[in-house]
Amino acid sequence: MRPRQTTPSIDDPPWLSSFIESLSRADLSPATCRGYRYDLRHFLTWRATIHSAPLEVEALTEIDLITYRQAMITAGLRPATVNRRLDALRRLCRWAQDSRTLNRDVTRDIRPVRMVRNRQPVGLTDAEVHALLRAAGASTHGLARRNYALVQLMVQAGLRVGEVSTLHLSDVVLRDRTGSVRVRAGKGLKDRECAAPCVGILICAPVPVPRTRCS
């Protein structure tokens, strides 16, 4: 699972707030908007280490972006992370051009970092899955059954965290020891139905209690 991102400590300039608002009006999901804000804040935090003056969009240069890209590479960031942050800057520049804040797209000639794609996705091992389920089943405050069921649902049906968090009871179809789950407005705002053999069992199944060592 991806570690939770910690937003750099920096105040948003007015143009960043306006840009994020434009993404919301374009019907991008809240999670996507947060991702753009996080990546652009990272750029602003980096730039503040070499320029004391606050950044105005019209002052953005190709040299800034090339230097930023090299700094991320030198820091050992993955190509996917570098390219994602460059894409956030590209979209910002397109928005700035449309709003006549920027005369030209300074990201046009900025190359992405080449990636060697692994066609075989990397998943959790059986041991990692069981460890995750055990941790969920050991939750406190009366949340063990709920957390175990949610993690099992994500493992069995391949649901994302955001998709699980928006499920309603009416989205779950129960059958004899099987079932399915309807995902509304998933990635790309697409609806889909996922087979979830575990659903019918999870609601009534006891949560495994982790063993404790006797002292």
Q: What is the pLDDT of residue 1?
A: 42
Q: What is the pLDDT of residue 195?
A: 77
Q: Residue 179's pLDDT band (boundaries 50, 70, 90)?
A: confident
Lowest mean pLDDT among 49-63, 91-105, 151-165, 178-192: 178-192
pLDDT tens per residue, range 15-24: 999 999 999 9
Report d(CA 77, CA 69) in Å as an integer. Answer: 10
Q: What is the pLDDT of residue 131?
A: 92
Regarding pTM above 0.95, the answer is: no
Q: Residue 8's pLDDT band (boundaries 50, 70, 90)?
A: very low
CB contact burial 33-47 (16+ within 10 A = b; e otherwise): bebbbebbbbbbebb
Report d(CA 124, CA 137) in Å as an integer. Answer: 18
Average pLDDT over residues 67-81: 92
Residues 6+ apart with CB under 8 A from 194: 157, 158, 159, 180, 181, 182, 183
Average pLDDT over residues 147-159: 82
pLDDT greater than 80 at residue 187: no
Report d(CA 84, CA 75) in Å as an integer. Answer: 15
The CA-based diameter of the chain, rounded to the nearest angstrom, is 72
pLDDT tens per residue, range 86-126: 999 999 999 998 888 888 888 888 888 887 666 666 778 88
Q: What is the pLDDT of residue 119?
A: 62
pLDDT greater than 80 at residue 10: no
pLDDT tens per residue, range 56-69: 888 888 999 999 99
Domains of the chain: 14-98 (1.10.150), 126-202 (1.10.443.10)
